[in-house]
Amino acid sequence: MFYRPEAGHGLPHNPFNALVAPRPIGWISTRGVQGDNLAPYSFFNAVAYVPPQVMFASTGVKPDRKGTKDSVSQIIESGTFCVNIGTGDMRDQINASSALLPAGQSEFQSAGIESAECNSIDCPRVARAAAALECRMTQIVPLAGETNFMVLGVVTGIHIRDDCIVEGRFDPRPAGGWIARLGYKDFATVTELFEMDRPK
Protein backbone atom coordinates (compact mmCIF):
# COMPACT_ATOMS: atom_id res chain seq x y z
CA MET A 1 0.00 0.00 0.00
CA PHE A 2 1.11 3.54 -0.77
CA TYR A 3 -0.86 6.73 -0.44
CA ARG A 4 -0.30 10.47 -0.50
CA PRO A 5 -1.83 12.11 2.60
CA GLU A 6 -3.54 14.82 0.57
CA ALA A 7 -5.23 12.17 -1.61
CA GLY A 8 -6.53 10.06 1.29
CA HIS A 9 -5.77 6.53 2.43
CA GLY A 10 -9.03 4.69 1.75
CA LEU A 11 -9.01 2.97 5.14
CA PRO A 12 -11.78 3.21 7.73
CA HIS A 13 -9.46 5.18 10.07
CA ASN A 14 -6.41 7.38 9.51
CA PRO A 15 -3.32 5.18 10.05
CA PHE A 16 -0.82 8.01 10.60
CA ASN A 17 -1.08 8.23 14.40
CA ALA A 18 -0.68 4.48 14.71
CA LEU A 19 2.45 4.37 12.54
CA VAL A 20 4.52 6.52 14.90
CA ALA A 21 3.95 4.70 18.19
CA PRO A 22 4.12 4.28 21.06
CA ARG A 23 4.22 7.99 21.85
CA PRO A 24 4.68 9.27 25.40
CA ILE A 25 1.91 11.49 26.70
CA GLY A 26 2.76 14.95 27.97
CA TRP A 27 0.06 15.88 30.46
CA ILE A 28 0.37 19.66 30.20
CA SER A 29 -0.80 21.95 32.98
CA THR A 30 -0.94 25.72 32.58
CA ARG A 31 -2.17 28.83 34.38
CA GLY A 32 -3.59 31.81 32.55
CA VAL A 33 -5.76 34.84 33.15
CA GLN A 34 -8.87 32.62 33.03
CA GLY A 35 -7.56 30.02 35.49
CA ASP A 36 -5.85 26.63 35.46
CA ASN A 37 -5.92 24.08 32.63
CA LEU A 38 -4.81 20.47 32.18
CA ALA A 39 -4.72 18.47 28.94
CA PRO A 40 -2.90 15.40 27.52
CA TYR A 41 -0.81 15.67 24.34
CA SER A 42 0.62 12.62 22.57
CA PHE A 43 2.85 14.69 20.29
CA PHE A 44 5.38 15.10 23.10
CA ASN A 45 8.99 14.25 23.89
CA ALA A 46 12.27 15.30 25.49
CA VAL A 47 14.66 16.97 23.04
CA ALA A 48 17.89 17.84 24.92
CA TYR A 49 19.88 16.94 28.05
CA VAL A 50 21.79 20.12 29.01
CA PRO A 51 19.85 22.15 29.78
CA PRO A 52 16.97 19.66 29.83
CA GLN A 53 14.34 20.61 27.26
CA VAL A 54 11.00 19.24 26.09
CA MET A 55 8.49 19.85 23.34
CA PHE A 56 4.83 19.20 22.67
CA ALA A 57 2.66 20.00 19.70
CA SER A 58 -0.92 21.19 19.75
CA THR A 59 -3.20 20.52 16.78
CA GLY A 60 -6.68 21.84 16.21
CA VAL A 61 -8.59 24.79 17.56
CA LYS A 62 -11.28 25.62 20.12
CA PRO A 63 -14.04 28.07 19.21
CA ASP A 64 -13.40 30.12 22.38
CA ARG A 65 -9.64 30.46 21.73
CA LYS A 66 -8.09 32.38 18.86
CA GLY A 67 -6.62 29.86 16.42
CA THR A 68 -5.44 27.28 18.97
CA LYS A 69 -6.37 25.52 22.24
CA ASP A 70 -6.31 26.45 25.93
CA SER A 71 -2.80 25.15 26.65
CA VAL A 72 -1.04 27.18 23.95
CA SER A 73 -3.13 30.28 24.69
CA GLN A 74 -2.20 30.17 28.36
CA ILE A 75 1.49 29.50 27.66
CA ILE A 76 1.52 32.60 25.46
CA GLU A 77 0.11 34.54 28.44
CA SER A 78 2.35 33.13 31.16
CA GLY A 79 5.48 31.86 29.43
CA THR A 80 5.38 28.72 31.58
CA PHE A 81 3.92 25.21 31.66
CA CYS A 82 4.35 21.92 33.49
CA VAL A 83 4.67 18.47 31.92
CA ASN A 84 3.14 15.86 34.21
CA ILE A 85 4.18 12.27 33.60
CA GLY A 86 1.04 10.19 33.86
CA THR A 87 1.04 6.48 34.64
CA GLY A 88 -1.25 3.51 34.24
CA ASP A 89 -2.91 4.11 37.60
CA MET A 90 -4.06 7.56 36.39
CA ARG A 91 -5.25 6.62 32.91
CA ASP A 92 -8.89 7.43 33.63
CA GLN A 93 -7.96 10.90 34.92
CA ILE A 94 -5.71 11.50 31.91
CA ASN A 95 -8.56 10.59 29.58
CA ALA A 96 -11.08 12.68 31.54
CA SER A 97 -8.84 15.74 31.25
CA SER A 98 -9.06 15.55 27.44
CA ALA A 99 -12.71 16.65 27.54
CA LEU A 100 -13.47 19.77 25.50
CA LEU A 101 -14.37 22.24 28.26
CA PRO A 102 -15.05 25.96 27.93
CA ALA A 103 -12.02 28.19 28.41
CA GLY A 104 -11.61 28.95 32.10
CA GLN A 105 -13.18 25.72 33.35
CA SER A 106 -10.53 23.68 35.17
CA GLU A 107 -9.95 20.06 34.21
CA PHE A 108 -8.40 19.57 37.65
CA GLN A 109 -11.84 20.25 39.15
CA SER A 110 -13.99 18.59 36.49
CA ALA A 111 -11.97 15.34 36.55
CA GLY A 112 -11.34 15.33 40.32
CA ILE A 113 -7.54 15.59 39.96
CA GLU A 114 -5.59 16.90 42.93
CA SER A 115 -3.28 19.79 42.07
CA ALA A 116 -0.19 21.15 43.77
CA GLU A 117 1.85 24.28 43.16
CA CYS A 118 5.07 24.21 41.17
CA ASN A 119 8.23 25.47 42.88
CA SER A 120 10.13 27.37 40.19
CA ILE A 121 7.18 28.73 38.17
CA ASP A 122 3.66 30.00 38.85
CA CYS A 123 1.77 26.98 37.55
CA PRO A 124 -0.21 24.03 38.90
CA ARG A 125 0.97 20.44 38.61
CA VAL A 126 -0.70 17.06 39.11
CA ALA A 127 0.03 16.20 42.74
CA ARG A 128 0.08 12.40 42.19
CA ALA A 129 1.95 12.37 38.88
CA ALA A 130 4.93 10.01 38.80
CA ALA A 131 7.03 13.04 37.81
CA ALA A 132 6.46 16.65 36.84
CA LEU A 133 8.73 18.88 34.76
CA GLU A 134 8.39 22.60 35.45
CA CYS A 135 9.14 24.49 32.23
CA ARG A 136 9.75 27.96 30.89
CA MET A 137 8.66 28.34 27.30
CA THR A 138 11.51 29.16 24.91
CA GLN A 139 9.69 29.09 21.57
CA ILE A 140 6.28 28.54 20.04
CA VAL A 141 6.81 27.45 16.45
CA PRO A 142 3.98 27.57 13.91
CA LEU A 143 3.91 24.33 11.92
CA ALA A 144 2.45 23.56 8.50
CA GLY A 145 -1.33 23.78 8.77
CA GLU A 146 -3.31 26.65 10.22
CA THR A 147 -3.76 25.35 13.78
CA ASN A 148 -0.57 23.35 14.44
CA PHE A 149 1.97 24.70 16.94
CA MET A 150 5.07 23.24 18.57
CA VAL A 151 5.88 24.48 22.07
CA LEU A 152 9.49 24.20 23.29
CA GLY A 153 10.52 24.71 26.89
CA VAL A 154 13.54 24.46 29.18
CA VAL A 155 13.03 22.45 32.37
CA THR A 156 13.53 24.59 35.51
CA GLY A 157 12.47 22.09 38.17
CA ILE A 158 11.68 18.37 38.47
CA HIS A 159 9.40 16.53 40.91
CA ILE A 160 9.62 12.73 41.24
CA ARG A 161 7.21 10.68 43.33
CA ASP A 162 9.12 8.85 46.08
CA ASP A 163 7.68 5.43 45.24
CA CYS A 164 8.84 5.86 41.63
CA ILE A 165 12.51 5.93 42.61
CA VAL A 166 13.57 2.28 42.71
CA GLU A 167 17.20 1.40 43.45
CA GLY A 168 18.28 4.88 42.46
CA ARG A 169 16.39 4.94 39.14
CA PHE A 170 13.15 6.54 38.02
CA ASP A 171 10.77 3.62 37.58
CA PRO A 172 7.01 4.31 37.39
CA ARG A 173 6.01 0.66 37.40
CA PRO A 174 4.87 0.91 41.05
CA ALA A 175 2.34 3.44 39.72
CA GLY A 176 1.21 1.26 36.82
CA GLY A 177 4.02 1.94 34.33
CA TRP A 178 4.51 4.51 31.61
CA ILE A 179 1.37 5.22 29.60
CA ALA A 180 1.65 5.69 25.84
CA ARG A 181 -0.57 6.46 22.86
CA LEU A 182 -0.65 3.90 20.06
CA GLY A 183 -3.12 5.54 17.70
CA TYR A 184 -6.86 5.16 17.11
CA LYS A 185 -8.34 4.58 20.60
CA ASP A 186 -5.43 2.35 21.59
CA PHE A 187 -3.10 2.99 24.52
CA ALA A 188 -0.52 0.88 26.34
CA THR A 189 1.28 0.77 29.64
CA VAL A 190 4.97 -0.09 29.61
CA THR A 191 5.85 -2.49 32.41
CA GLU A 192 8.36 -4.87 30.80
CA LEU A 193 11.93 -3.65 30.34
CA PHE A 194 15.18 -5.00 28.90
CA GLU A 195 18.69 -3.57 28.79
CA MET A 196 21.19 -3.33 25.91
CA ASP A 197 24.74 -1.97 25.90
CA ARG A 198 25.82 0.28 23.07
CA PRO A 199 28.51 -1.13 20.79
CA LYS A 200 32.02 0.06 21.67
Residue 136 to residues 71, 82, 99, 151, 194: CA-CA distances in angstroms?
A: 14, 9, 25, 10, 33
Reported as a pLDDT band with limits 50, 70 and 90, residue 157 is very high
pLDDT, tens only, 45-63:
999 999 999 999 999 999 9
Q: Flag whether pLDDT at 81 surpasses 90.
A: yes
Instruction: Report the alpha-carbon angle 56-34-124, nearest 5.
Output: 55
DSSP assigned state of 87 = B
DSSP readout, 143-158?
Answer: -SSTT-EEEEEEEEEE
Q: Flag whether pLDDT at 25 surpasses 90.
A: yes
pLDDT, tens only, 93-105:
999 999 999 999 9
Contact 31, 78 (CB under 8 A): yes
Q: What is the mean pLDDT of the chain?
A: 96
SS3 5: helix
pLDDT, tens only, 162-178:
999 999 999 999 999 99
Element (H, E) at 102: none
Q: Which of 71, 62, 50 is nearest to 154 (CA)?
A: 50
Q: Above pLDDT 90, what percent of the chain?
A: 96
Contacts of 196 (CB under 8 A, 6+ apart): none
* pLDDT for position 66: 87
Q: Which of 135, 59, 127 is nearest to 93 (CA)?
A: 127
* pLDDT for position 133: 98
Contact 52, 149 (CB under 8 A): no
pLDDT, tens only, 176-189:
999 999 999 999 99
Element (H, E) at 7: none
